[in-house]
Structure 1
Amino acid sequence: MSVRKQQLLKQHRRNKRIALLAIIMGLLLLGFIAPLWLLPLAVLLVWVVHEAWFADHLFYSPQDDYQYRFPDGVQPLSLRLVNGRLQLQESSLAQQATVIAKVQINSSWLGRWFDPSICIGNDQQTFERGAHGVRYLNLTGQVEALTTAGLAVQGRFCSIATQIQLYVFTQPSPTAGNMMILAPHADDAELAAFGLYSGANNVSIVTLTQGEVEAEYYQRLGLSQQHAAQLKGRLRAWDSMAIPLWGGVAQTHCVQLGYYCMQLPKMAKQPDVPFASQQSAEADIRTARRHNTIQLPGDATGLPTWQNLLADLAACLMHFKPDVLVMPHPEIDPHADHIATT
């Protein structure tokens, strides 16, 4: 954890202790001067207020500036917000260009209780409560309006400085080439990239694990933990092959590798050691591969080892030959399996 995060966490815990002490004193006072039936209602109200307004900002401060790193050579264009409209006198921008506006915002007092947002053109972009400082607006897709009539800009629970910098650059569209999505678990491809891959022409999805853990709901069917995990693993493995059909990805372009949840980091540390499921007691990844249409190196032994995983991924890369790989970002996504996937 970074020093900044440690400082913010320490500050958050200190404020929590102070608030908790004040709440306890207030509840004790309420117990003396008000009917007892008001006490549980007050506790419930305090909990609702905490969850609605004070449960955020553990590891960052809304007062901090956002920091983006753009491609080398991209020079910002200086603009001004005039009469609530943002207009660029530059007609040579490509319609598919990526356009990012750097703005300075300041939340109003209502913006400390409700999420502040900025309505710009046909889009609305929302920020954290109490946001103050540099933020970035994605104007991609609104180039025509930006260079003609201009984009109407209006802050909700926040104000915007009139000085704005615009970053314009072009990137090859990831949907134009052959795309492969590496999903740590079934449904990760949909949660993170369904909008992306459903608009692409040539997509393959490789799911690394079965997703068999945390099968408590399946135990309500009268199953043991082991059998519940096995059932969940089978269903989620099937999901990883079937759900992409809704996004236009054929089953022949979906691969389920069948490794086990929460075991990838351990596998990486001991590449030759098989790591069975923590809950289903299974140790043969071939049980989840029955719907695959391609042969993989791991099919020979079925052992859940890191060496087999690397060989399977290499085989998928050679088979589908992707131009673009989509995978979790290790700094944004803290899940251990997601980090190991990347």
Structure 2
Amino acid sequence: MPILRDHHLPLAPDWECKATIDDNGIIQLADPAIASLSTGDVRPNTWMLEVRYRATSRWKLPAVTIIDRSKSQATERFTQYLEPNETGKRLINLTGIESLHQLQLTLKHLTLEGDATLLGFHNPNLASGAILIIAPHPDDAELAAFGVYSQYPENTWIVTITAGERLKRLDKQYWSGLDVSLEEASHRKGFIRAWNSATTPLLAGVPAERLVMLGYFNDTLTTLYEKPGTVAPSHSVPTLKPDAYRTWNKLSLPTDGQSRNTGQNLQSDLAALLASIKPKTIITPHPDLDPHADHIASTRHLQAATEQSGHYPENLMLYANHLKSTRGFPRGPAHAAAGVWPTQASTQAPRNDKIASFPISIEVQKQKALALHSMHDLGGTPGLERQLKRKLKRLLSGIPCKDWSDYSGHDFFQTHIKAHENFVLRKIDQTKSRGLEPLSGSQPLSK
């Protein structure tokens, strides 16, 4: 018997329409006005089909393939994978289609109820102003938003808060035997990761002048938020200062030359950047969906810096690179469609969030794979136990082995090289400076 799990976010769609799915998988919309929206209205925006599904296998990944039949030649757009051995409410990502007319779904290893709901969301116009991406660690900007920022490189600023220097064991250094002390190896890890942050976005055309490394210390951001006046040393190199990782910055920061790892300094640097850049859109971790302590604290520091600077963006786009107790999401091999995070939110939570999904071309997905390869922390080979578990899951998934593109050993090369990049979108209330609060009652689903 499949396990019942409903995925739910308290969303406020711009379009909402009842739909039916017939025995051939053809979607019929109840509202003729929405069904006849032009390509100019459909293509730039986000579309989700809320359905109830039932997996028909304990192990095989349920698959929903979206087919566009609006033209003479039916076109297969992409496939989204769901959880095996489960039943419940899900959102099927239709973003990237050109017409809402004559859409068809083909199903493998699942059934769908006939009643569904189409949800549509206006995507923000990212070309109309500066975009600021907050990356708690080197590689977070690439994992969450490489596809987005590669489309708007001249508008993009990327601020990486920490150097990600922490190394817990000497045998985990990138090059075995290179350094003989944990302090040396940790310092070198931060050095090369800061270099990654300073160079990888160049692959997408982001100017070097818009790449900023703050150099604060890994796994200390919560302490810095809770005790902003207290100096928190690096866990691995107690004598280290953030200046060590600002070598490649092209602009000056308020704390340059006298930097200490404090929340006051971090917020001062962020506030100065906000006042200078004046971003229209900020992309930052979702403080409720992404459980990583540094990710939560990064957005909290951003909130404090926003209040300090007095500059509020129009759009806040929130991402989740990590999910509590959930591995392998978004499901399926690289290049599949990206579903919406497996979350549950209280039905009492206000419906004020939107989904912003951005389709990523296959060429940009390949460039993203290259960008992730340039990040040293995503290299290496998984251990034998992990390799065996992964191989067994793939054999049981019902997906041919040739369809799993092994660009590298890290899970992110499957989960984050997808046909979409998804964000929770919040419009900021300029008069009340609201928009950074967490969802009330929202929590990741545990597996």
TM-score range, shorter chain: 0.7 to 0.9
Q: Using the TM superposition, give the Cα deviation of residue 116 of structure 1 relative to its aligned residue in structure 2, in angstroms.
A: 1.1
- The CA deviation at 1:138 is 1.3
Partner of 1:35: none
Task: Name the structure 2 match of 1:202.
Answer: 155
Counterpart secondary structure, 2:138: coil
Distance (Å, rounded) in 2 between the aligned partners of 1:252 and 1:303: 23
Structure 2 distance, partners of 1:192, 1:62, is 30
SS of corresponding position for 2:151 = coil
Q: Equivalent of 1:213, from 137, 141, 166? A: 166
User: What corresponds to 1:263 in structure 2?
Assistant: 220
Partner of 2:199: 242
Q: Is the 8 A contact 1:62 1:129 kept in 2?
A: no
Selected match of 2:65 from 119, 138, 152: 119
Offset from partner CA, 1:100-141 (integer Å, 9 cap, x none):
111111111x2x112112111211111111120111111122
What corresponds to 1:169 in structure 2?
121
Gap runs ≥5 in structure 2: 68-76, 300-447
Match in the other structure for 1:136: 91
Classify 1:130/1:152 alpha carbon distance in 2 versus 1 (closer, same or farther; 3 Å): same
RMSD, aligned α-carbons: 1.9
> How far apart in 1 are the matches of 2:12 and 2:166?
40
Q: Secondary structure of 1:204's partner?
A: strand
Q: Residue 89 of structure 2 aligns to a residue in which SS?
A: strand
Asked if structure 2 preserves the Cα contact closer than 8 Å seen for 1:79 and 1:166, the reply is no
- Percent identity over paired residues: 35
| CA distance, structure 2, for counterparts of residue 127 and residue 78 of structure 1 | 20
Structure ranking higher on relative contact order (CA contacts 8 Å, 6+ apart): 2
For the 8 Å contact 2:19–2:28, the answer to whether it is kept is no
1:103 aligned onto 2:51: yes
1:92 CA displacement: 2.4
Are the equivalent residues in 1 in contact too, given 2:16–2:117 (CA < 8 A)?
no
Bigger Cα displacement from structure 2, 123-132 vs 210-219:
210-219
Deviations 1:256-301 (A, max 9, x none): 0000101111111211111121102233211111211111111141
CA distance in 2, matches of 1:177, 1:62: 45
Which amino acid counterpart does residue 107 of structure 1 have in structure 2?
A: A
Provide the C-alpha distance between the structure 2 equivalents of 1:294 and 1:131, rounded to a whole number of angstroms.
51
CA offset digits 1:209-265 (Å, max 9, x no partner): 011112632462142100000111111111111001112111100000000101111
1:152 is displaced (CA, Å) by 2.3
- Displacement after TM superposition at 1:204 (Å): 0.2
- Greater shift in the superposed pair: 181-190 or 154-163: 154-163
Match of 1:84? 25
SS of structure 2 residue aligned to 1:299: coil
TM-score by length of 2: 0.59
- Tell me by how many angstroms 1:68 deviates: 2.7
Alignment of 1:46-61 (within 5 A): none
Q: Which of 106, 123, 134 is matched with 1:182 structurally?
A: 134
Mapped partners of 1:212, 1:92: distance in 2 = 50
State whether residues 283 and 304 of structure 1, in contact with CA within 8 Å, keep that contact through their aligned partners in structure 2: no
1:11-64 deviations in Å (ceiling 9; x for gaps): xxxxxxxxxxxxxxxxxxxxxxxxxxxxxxxxxxxxxxxxxxxxxxxxxx9511
Select the structure that is richer in helix: 1
Relative to the length of structure 1, the TM-score reads: 0.76
CA contact 1:120–1:154 (8 Å) conserved in 2: yes
Larger Rg, first or second structure (1 or 2): 1
Measure how far apart 1:316 and its partner are. 1.1
Which of 278, 292, 303 in structure 2 is aligned with 1:335? 292
Residue 331 and residue 153 in structure 1: after superposition, are their counterparts in 2 closer, same or farther (change >3 A)? same
CA distance in 2 between counterparts of 1:221 and 1:151 reads 56
**In 2 relative to 1, CA 282–187 (structure 1 residues): closer, same or farther, beyond 3 Å?**
farther
5+ residue gaps, structure 1, are: 1-60
Segment of structure 1 superposing worse, 69-78 or 243-252: 69-78
